[in-house]
Amino acid sequence: MMSRFWPMFRKEFIQMRRDRLTFAMMVGIPVIQLLVFGYAIQTDVRNLPTVVLDQSRTPTSRDLIAAFQNTGNFRVIAHVDGRPELDAAIARGDAQAGIIVPYDYPRDLARGTTATVQVIVDAADPLSSQAALNAAAGVAQARNLSILSRAADRSIPIEARVRPRYNPGLRSPNYIVPGLVGVILTMTLVLITAMAIVRERERGTLEQLIVTPITKTELMLGKITPYVGVGLLQMTAVLILGRFVFDVPITGNILLLYGVSLIFIIASLAFGLLVSTLVRTQQQAIQASFGFMLPNILLSGFMFPRQAMPEIAQWLGLLMPLTYFLKVVRGILLKGVGLEALWQEVLILAAFAVVLIVASVRRFRKTLD
Amino acid sequence: MDAAVETRELTRRFGALTAVDALTLRIERGEVFGLLGPNGSGKTTTIRMLCGLLEPSSGSALVTGIDVTVAPEQVKQRIGYMAQRVGAYEDLTVAENLTFYAGIYGLRGDMMRTRVGEVVAFLSLGDRLGQLAAQLSGGWKQRLGLACALVHRPGLLFLDEPTAGVDPAARRRFWHTIHDLAASGTTVLVTTHYMDEAAQCGRLGMMSRGHLIALGTPDEVAAQVGGRTLEDAFVVLQQRDEQ
């Protein structure tokens, strides 16, 4: 039983090591991706370039503009003298927000009638405009409350105290980096094994291999096992960089994390293997892998919260191992929870691994038809 | 005693094309048997069916006494196979290739070292052990391919156009090796285009359009068309078949 697994494993390992460029890419690409994604993906929008048209030019208006700046969402880059200038700055893209304080602002405020201040936002990018809208509304609300409570001579009636648990600083890297562990593993491992059998077919070595008594299971397992090590290596690199470059906490049990990752790695490799049995050329293997990757990244909840997706997209997301793995990684790294909270996801991942391996072994034929 | 190969009405169709058409053939143990025929005559398909690489559409084939359609994996342990495109891994060294195939055929430890040593000596690969297969010339690559196919000492060896793209000197050496193997009791089934190689076989089967058009020793085959050369026999018989 399985006696031909080791020769197969050893051969794959030597070939993997000898292919320096691929090996370097397998370890180098995760690091680059982590740095790029980690720095670039910032869902908390700050420092929107803002132009100000202050028609009243009074201490009261300057006070208001300072309040806007203090939210951290607006960064005043210029003061302009007229509306056309302000519109032009936003149209050109120099500014993404404009604040207009009218002549009557201080007068209305003093009189007790409603004073208006206009905030114009470039909503072409919904994420940043949303942040700006919230911030602007927040500034007005805070002012309103303080003025009204002073007038009524009492403290504000209700205050909702929101405590952001698990990621108190609301930092994007805390959300993105754990997810990246899963995305990087999916990306590289599926592609590597998708090529595995097709490459032998194209080079003509598969014919020689299947004329030997090696069993399908020995062949498949021997092929993917060396890459389990690659997956664990990639994951370790991402975790270390995440911890020391992006300050992502490692709250939970690291051994549990490695254990579950092992299951996820096997599932990813097995999926690649299944692809490898379905396609005829390396080119098709690459296309199929990317076709698998994109929905994974979009629907798994790596970038966009799944709760916000239409129902059908949520259902599709459930078909992807990454969806479950993301819950596990974020759960362990950020919340510090253990198996008692995650056992369902772990079981589903294990089922994925088993089903995918069995499917690819069954799909594979030791004949040339 | 069982024949090395015994087929009955062996047939393989690819869609509308019948690549091998009701081939009945018996090859005795220890023979060097040559399959001769133009491209597309069904030689490769025949060999692939006998090795368990292709399933026959109908008919039967006993290989070393075992029905290849029933127990292909048992057959695979007993045969050696070398395709036209050598199956050695270009990014492994000669030694690594041999160790790999020895392991895949279930050889371990001392037994593995002994067998690898024997096959290295037999094919004079000793000086090349550390070289990557990619760096070998055509003739050496072909020897490595043969070594990989022989490392488990099969009783029956299939060679599919083994000397394609190999220089004449290397071809001659290769045929010496084949005769050495036959002398030690290995049955060899070889396909070829070359008449000089066909003449070196104990018996020949000429194929055209999926069936045999002549069978016998090279002299017997030549005699079928009035004792002319093997090449004449080949051309005449094939033309007759296509009419």
Judge whether B145 and B82 are in contact, CB under 8 Å: yes
- Predicted local confidence at residue B1, as pLDDT: 64
pLDDT at B85: 85
Are A213 and B104 a contacting pair at CB < 8 A? yes
Q: Which of A14, A15, A212 sits opposite B105 (nearest CB)?
A: A212
Rounded to a whole number of angstroms, the distance from the CA of A218 to the nearest CA of chain B is 10
| Tens digit of each residue's pLDDT (9 = 90 or more) over A122-162 | 888 777 778 788 888 888 888 888 888 888 888 777 778 87
User: Which DSSP category does B15 fall into?
Assistant: T
As a whole number of angstroms, the distance between CA B83 and CA B143 comes to 12
Residues whose CB is less than 8 angstroms from the CB of residue A98 and which lie 6 or more positions away in sequence, other chains included: A50, A51, A52, A53, A86, A87, A89, A90, A119, A120
> What are the chain A neighbours of B57 within 8 Å (beta carbons)?
none
Question: What's chain B's average pLDDT?
Answer: 92
Supply B68's token pair: 């290849």
Asked if B234 and B192 count as a contact pair (C-beta separation under 8 A), the reply is: no
Type of residue found at A101: V
Whether residue A368 and residue B54 make contact (CB cut-off 8 A), yes or no, is yes
3-class SS at A266? helix
Is residue A30 a contact partner of residue A238, using CB atoms and an 8 Å limit? yes
pLDDT score at B222: 87
Nearest CA in chain A to B72: A213
Mean pLDDT of B79-87: 91
- Which of B12, B14, B89, B131 to mutate: most A Cβ within 10 Å? B89
Chain A residue numbers with beta carbons less than 8 Å from the beta carbon of B99 are 7
Answer for the pair A86, A80: CB distance below 8 angstroms, yes or no: yes
CA atoms within 13 A on the CB side of A317: 23
- Give the Å distances, CA to CA, from A53 to A36, A50, B233: 37, 10, 101
Partner-chain residue, chosen from B81, B96, B108, that has the shortest CB–CB distance to A211 = B81
| Helix, coil or strand: residue A97 | strand
Q: Which residue of B has its CA nearest to A199?
A: B89
Which candidate from B55, B85, B104 shows the least CB-CB separation from A214? B104
- Tell me whether residue B202 is exposed, middle or buried, using C-beta atoms within 10 angstroms of its C-beta: 0 to 12, 13 to 18, 19 or more: middle
If DSSP codes are grouped into helix, strand and coil, which group holds residue B8? strand
Calculate the alpha carbon distances from A156 to A70, A144, A145, A308 in Å: 22, 11, 7, 33
How far does the CA of residue B229 sit from the closest CA of chain A (Å)?
A: 36
A274-311 confidence digits (pLDDT tens)? 999 999 899 999 999 999 888 988 899 888 888 888 99
CA–CA distance, B237 with B240 (Å, rounded to integer): 5
Q: Which residue of B has its CA nearest to A214?
A: B104
- 3-class DSSP state for residue B209? coil
Q: Which residues contact B19 (CB under 8 A, 6 or more apart)?
A: B12, B13, B40, B42, B45, B210
Judge if pTM exceeds 0.90.
no
Q: What is the rounded distance in angstroms from the CA atom of residue B236 to the CA atom of residue B85?
A: 30
In chain B, the residue whose alpha carbon lies closest to the alpha carbon of A215 is B73
CA distance B114 to A108: 102
The Cα of A208 is separated from the nearest Cα of chain B by a number of Å equal to: 5
pLDDT tens readout for residues B43-53: 999 999 999 99
Nearest residue on chain B to A14, alpha-carbon basis: B92
CB-based contact A4 B76, cutoff 8 Å: no
- The answer to whether B206 and B46 are in contact (CB under 8 A) is no
Q: Which residues of A touch B55 (CB under 8 A)?
A: 367, 369
Residues A92, B4: Cα–Cα separation, whole Å: 84
Q: Hey, what are A296's tokens?
A: 């994974």
CA dist A358 and B95 (Å) reads 33
The torsion of the CA quartet A11, A14, A19, A21, rounded to 10 degrees, works out to 130
Is pLDDT of B105 > 90? yes
Closest CA to A345 of B136, B175, A303, A337: A337
Helix axes B138-150, B94-104, angle to 10 degrees: 20
* Residue from the list B51, B73, B100 with its beta carbon closest to the beta carbon of A7: B100
Q: pLDDT means per 10 residues in chain A (369 residues)?
A: 88 91 83 83 76 91 88 89 91 90 89 87 80 84 83 79 76 84 90 89 92 93 92 92 89 93 95 92 91 89 86 92 94 90 94 95 86
User: Position A339: which residue type?
Assistant: L
CB A248 within 8 A of CB A178: yes
Non-local (6+) Cβ contacts of A84 within 8 A are: none
**Per-residue pLDDT reduced to its tens digit, B34-76:** 999 888 899 999 999 999 999 999 999 999 999 999 999 999 9
Question: How far apart (Å, rounded) are the C-alpha atoms in residues B150 and A40?
Answer: 57
Radius of gyration over every alpha carbon of chain B, rounded to an integer in angstroms: 18
Cα torsion A195, A201, A205, A206: sign: positive
Choose among A366, A367, A363: nearest CA to A355: A363
Type of residue found at B226: G
Point out the residue among A18, A210, A214 whose CB comes nearest to the CB of B53.
A210
* Contact list, B52 vs chain A (CB under 8 Å): 211, 366-367
* Count of pairs with CB atoms under 8 A, one residue in A, one in B: 81
Q: Which of B72, B87, B103 sits opposite A208 (nearest CB)?
A: B87
pLDDT tens digits, one per residue of B208-236: 999 999 999 999 988 887 767 888 888 88
Backbone phi and psi for residue A227, each to the nearest 5 degrees, phi listed first: -80, -10
Q: Which residues of A touch B101 (CB under 8 A)?
A: 212
Are B85 and A11 an interchain contact pair (Cβ–Cβ within 8 Å)? Answer: no
**CB neighbours of residue A53 within 10 Å:** 21
